[in-house]
Amino acid sequence: MTRKINIAMHQLNYTTGAFEANFLKTKASIENALDADIHVLPECAVTNYPSDDYFLDAQYQAKAIEYCERYRELSATLGITIVVGTPLRGKTRSKKMCNGLVVYSKGVEVHSYMKTHLPNYDVFDDVRWFESRLEQVGADAEIRVLEFHLDGATAKIGFCICEDIWFADVIGELTELGAEIIVSINSSPYAIAKGNFRRAIFKERVSESGVPLVYVNQVGGNDELVWDGCSAVLDPDGVLYEIEMCKEGVEVVTLADSGKGFRNTVSKPTLVLNDQQERYLMACLGLHAYIEKNGFTGTLFGLSGGMDSSLVAAMTVDTFGEGRVNTAMMPSPYTSAGSNTRAARLAAGMGDGFVAEVWPITEEYEAAKAKFRKARGRDPSGLADENLQAQIRGNTLSMISNDAGGLLAMIGTSNKSEILCGYGTLYGDLRGAFNVLKDLYKSIDVFPIAEMRLEHAINPDPVFDRVWLQTFGRPLAKWTDDCRKAMREVIDEPPSAELKPGQKDTDSLPPYPRLDRVLWEIEDAKASQTDEQIAALLGEDVEFVSMVRAKRKRYEFKRFQSCPGVKIHRKSPTTKDRRMPLTNHFA
């Protein structure tokens, strides 16, 4: 009789610290696949990953241990086997736990494992939160395989956790012990191009070990991180079964012994979106998670008729629907008639139209300037005058949000290029609860994404439509002809903050395509480079590169105080990914 095993991959969207909700979500998912032989949950499914310094909190640790018992009881009640990702107690005298997994089979703990490699780079702080398996003693330090009993046969399964598969040693140890299948539980956050990098790692590990790799990743968002899922099984013959990105739920894959080891019985290739579709999807996934998991009833932002706020309008309408989108058009004496009309046309033509109240700020602006003149005998300086307008707008949005009981989340509309260069006003346009554009460059991301969304409004892509619907449970909004024309005008209009007559962003910043090329090399390139190296690579003047770097350094204090946002690029200006001193005299 051919040996075969049915593995349920539970690609789920967990919430940090929501022990009961996470458990009930898991239970419901398992009940949808009771015929599976073994159910695999993501890394730290009990608590969610990352839980940051809650991982060091004694009560949090105790709650994780308590809920492990719930999962054990579930395995007994349903007569199943579950692989549960959870913090586990390591050294008895340490305040840290281990990032681990437990296998419960019909109410009995039959296997456990503690993560070996602890990532300590980018957004990861595992060394701060956990002990490694290599720090343990006795049985906890041993690596073992599980002999899993099938009908009249057995299968030897080796388990590891996330970072462990990025290195060859753990899987090498497991295969030396006879593992015929490797199961990796993961909480691998999204970043641009990371999916292809992961798949290359899968191929390396499978080629080295000669056994299939089952990779189960979480999906969704929490704070500034998003997870694309893309759980997969890859076998030594190169047959791939991959769950679609951002799809929450369970899928069962069957591995059968072909005479040369376990192999996939069905293939399901990677679903591919273009770069702009993927970035739009993941940014909105992070926005959706923040709003829903923090109990906001709707969104609120300033709608100017410029590129950034127009893209945020499209994102919020697509993600939540028109009824949960609230905007304020806040013209000043310098706001052009074109900006006002474009904003109104967008608001009227996205889906069934969204709320766009007009709150002119001229009266407050002139009163504040008069107050300054009375105290100082002169008008405020040019920069103070410009920032004053942004701060009045920030006050207006805060008032509207507070009047709604704080249930309308203020959404930031500053892009990554502006944030890195300090081109934004503290307590003004940098104010907010969450910024969906925070890790999107103006020329690399914002404009191309807007072009993509406009093109989709004209010629819909059925694949993108399907992925969107299964991610958010709602279709992408339809745009009227006039809305499409207004968005075309927004894209073609030279960027301007409109805080003084005839102002253009190029008055304060280099053209965005030139600026962004340098910023990307400083921020996102894989290797740290000197100004001279970047200049040579891009064919730029060293002085220009140094000027951009100095501008980036000068405004660290603004980034530190700006609202959180979604991590999209390899390196983001989010608090989880950027740790730079505010007081810094390094040239």
The mean pLDDT value of the chain amounts to: 94
Residues 330-361 have pLDDT tens digits of: 999 988 888 899 999 999 999 999 999 999 99
Lowest mean pLDDT among 313-317, 441-445, 476-480, 520-524: 520-524
Cα 586 to Cα 423, 523, 525, 528, distances in angstroms? 22, 17, 21, 16
CATH of 276-509+555-561, one of 2.40.50.100, 3.40.50.620, 3.50.30.50, 3.30.420.40: 3.40.50.620
Of the pLDDT bands very low, low, confident and very high (cuts 50, 70, 90), residue 507 is: confident
Residues 213-230 have pLDDT tens digits of: 999 999 999 999 999 999
Burial class (CB in 10 A: 0-12, 13-18, 19+), 301: buried
Distance CA(289)–CA(484), nearest Å, equals 28
Distance CA(476)–CA(472), nearest Å, equals 9
CB burial readout 169-194, b (16+ within 10 A) else e: ebbebbbeeebbbbbbbbbbbbbbee
Q: Quote the radius of gyration of the chain (alpha carbons, Å).
A: 26
**Tokens read off for 221:** 């968002």
Of the pLDDT bands very low, low, confident and very high (cuts 50, 70, 90), residue 560 is: confident
Q: What is the pTM of this model?
A: 0.94
Q: Which of 25, 115, 416, 551 is catalytic?
A: 115
User: If you write DSSP's letter for every residue of 325-384 in order, what string do you get?
Assistant: EEEEE---TT--HHHHHHHHHHHHHBTT--EEEE---HHHHHHHHHHHHHHHSSPPPHHH
Taken in order 443, 444, 447, 448, the sign of the CA dihedral is positive
Residues 538-556 have pLDDT tens digits of: 999 999 999 999 988 888 8
Tokens 């030594």 correspond to 236
CB atoms within 10 A of CB 228: 25
Residues 7-55 have pLDDT tens digits of: 999 999 999 999 999 999 999 999 999 999 999 999 999 999 999 999 9
Residue 485 has pLDDT above 70, yes or no: yes
Of the pLDDT bands very low, low, confident and very high (cuts 50, 70, 90), residue 248 is: very high
CA dihedral 352, 291, 449, 526 (to 10 degrees): 180
pLDDT value at residue 575: 79
With both helix axes pointing from N to C terminus, report the angle between 58-78 and 19-31 in degrees, rounded to the nearest 10.
Answer: 20
Residues 270-284 have pLDDT tens digits of: 999 999 999 999 999
585 or 401: which carries more pLDDT confidence? 401
Average pLDDT over residues 379-405: 93
Residue 1 has pLDDT above 70, yes or no: no
Residue 584 has pLDDT above 90, yes or no: no
* Residue 266 DSSP one-character state: S
Distance CA(116)–CA(523), nearest Å, equals 30
Q: What is the DSSP pairing of strand 298-302 with strand 97-105? A: unpaired
Residue 93 has pLDDT above 70, yes or no: no
Asked if residues 329 and 340 have their Cβ atoms less than 8 Å apart, the reply is yes
Q: Which of 25, 43, 68, 418 is catalytic?
A: 43
Distance CA(218)–CA(22), nearest Å, equals 12
Return the SS3 of 259. Answer: coil
43 is catalytic: yes
pLDDT value at residue 303: 96
Return the SS3 of 128. Answer: helix
555 or 240: which carries more pLDDT confidence? 240
Residue 169 has pLDDT above 70, yes or no: yes
Q: Which of 44, 98, 162, 246 is catalytic?
A: 162
Distance CA(76)–CA(547), nearest Å, equals 64
Residue 558 has pLDDT above 90, yes or no: no
Q: Where are the domains of the chain?
A: 4-271, 276-509+555-561
Asked if residues 396 and 328 have their Cβ atoms less than 8 Å apart, the reply is yes
Tell me phi and psi for residue 254, to 5 degrees: -105, 125
115 is catalytic: yes
pLDDT value at residue 473: 95
182 or 141: which carries more pLDDT confidence? 182
Q: What percent of the chain has pLDDT over 70?
A: 99
pLDDT value at residue 503: 77
pLDDT value at residue 528: 85
Distance CA(24)–CA(27), nearest Å, equals 5
Taken in order 438, 443, 445, 448, the sign of the CA dihedral is positive
pLDDT value at residue 394: 94
CA dihedral 297, 249, 206, 109 (to 10 degrees): 100
Q: What percent of the chain has pLDDT over 90?
A: 83
Which is the CATH superfamily of the domain at 4-271?
Answer: Carbon-nitrogen hydrolase (3.60.110.10)
Residues 3-13 have pLDDT tens digits of: 999 999 999 99
Of the pLDDT bands very low, low, confident and very high (cuts 50, 70, 90), residue 587 is: low
540 is catalytic: no
Average pLDDT over residues 510-526: 92
DSSP-H helix ranges across 377-426: 382-403, 416-421
Return the SS3 of 60. Answer: helix
